[in-house]
């Protein structure tokens, strides 16, 4: 994961070479809590994280699923991340470089996602979790980017806990 991200960063930086540092891509630091469930059968959820901006197509940032299953079999259940599947997933190919990642268990996860150049304006980060033999929940985090900076937070009630994000140049 981390290696792939840094590769992409390099790529974007190359495109923006020569510009002032503030014109380079932003990074989205995200903290996501996956709640610990007291259930007999627990499987880490499939999670999709994407960015919405009015007038632009949804942009998938990360998808956590069973990437290690043989024959790409983990992709079969991606459509159960239903909102994401409709706005973005069904038009993508998996595995997707810089996007595919392994599932994560309960706890608080910090991820740093290269977000490309985010212009000023209102955005919504959406995170949707869908758990085998469990439920599904999407949390929307509205935030505003101004001069390459922004932040927002929200929280889920069932499949997702607190979600916080910071955008930094």
Partner 1 sequence: MKIFRLSLMATAAAATLALPTIASARLWLLPSETMFAGNGDEWVTVDFANSTDLFYFDHPAPQMEPVIFAPDGTQVQAENKGKGRFRATFDIHLTQKGTYKVAAISNAVFGSYTLNGEEKRLPRGTTAETLAQAIPAGATDVKTTVMAGRVETFLTAGEPTNTVFKATGEGLEMVPVTHPNDLIAGEKATFQFLLNGKPAANLPVVAIPGGVRYRGDLKQVDARTDAEGKVTFTWSDAGMYWISVTTAPPRPAPAAEGAPRPEPAPRPPRIDSYAATFEVLGS
User: Which residues form the interface with partner 1 (CB under 8 A)?
Assistant: 72, 75-79, 82-83, 85-86, 90-91
Q: Contact, 77 vs 89, CB < 8 A?
A: no
Phi, psi of 93 (to 5 degrees): -110, 135
- Rounded Cα distance between 125 and 163, Å, is 10
Q: With respect to partner 1, which residue has the nearer C-beta, 91 or 144?
A: 91
Q: With respect to partner 1, which residue has the nearer C-beta, 72 or 158?
A: 72
Closest distance to partner 1 from the beta carbon of 111 (Å): 24
Q: With respect to partner 1, which residue has the nearer C-beta, 104 or 136?
A: 136
Q: With respect to partner 1, which residue has the nearer C-beta, 60 or 75?
A: 75
Closest distance to partner 1 from the beta carbon of 86 (Å): 7
Q: How far is CA 100 from CA 12, 47, 57, 66, 166, in A?
A: 19, 10, 19, 9, 21
Closest distance to partner 1 from the beta carbon of 79 (Å): 5
Question: For residue 154, is the peptide bond before it cis, meaning its omega torsion is within 30 degrees of 0?
Answer: no
DSSP 72-135: GGGGGGGGGSHHHHHHTGGGS-SS-TTTEEE---SEEEEEEEEEE-PPSEEEEEEEEEE-TTS-
Closest distance to partner 1 from the beta carbon of 116 (Å): 23
Q: With respect to partner 1, which residue has the nearer C-beta, 85 or 112?
A: 85
Closest distance to partner 1 from the beta carbon of 60 (Å): 14
């Amino acid at each position: 994961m981390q290696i792939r991200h840094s590769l992409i960063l390099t790529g974007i930086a190359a495109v923006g070479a020569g510009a002032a540092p503030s014109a380079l891509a932003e990074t989205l630091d995200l903290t996501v809590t996956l709640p610990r469930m007291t259930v007999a059968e627990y499987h880490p959820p499939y999670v999709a994280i994407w960015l919405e901006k009015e007038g632009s197509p949804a942009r998938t940032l990360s998808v956590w699923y069973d990437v290690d299953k043989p024959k790409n079999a983990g992709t079969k259940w991606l459509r159960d991340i239903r909102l994401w599947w409709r706005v973005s997933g069904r038009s993508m190919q998996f595995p997707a470089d810089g996007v595919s990642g392994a599932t994560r268990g309960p706890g608080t996860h910090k991820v740093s996602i290269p977000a490309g150049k985010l212009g000023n304006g209102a955005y919504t980060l959406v995170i949707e979790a869908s758990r085998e033999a469990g439920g599904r929940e999407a949390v929307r985090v509205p935030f505003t980017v101004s001069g390459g900076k922004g932040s927002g937070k929200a929280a889920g009630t069932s499949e997702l806990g607190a979600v916080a994000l910071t955008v930094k140049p």
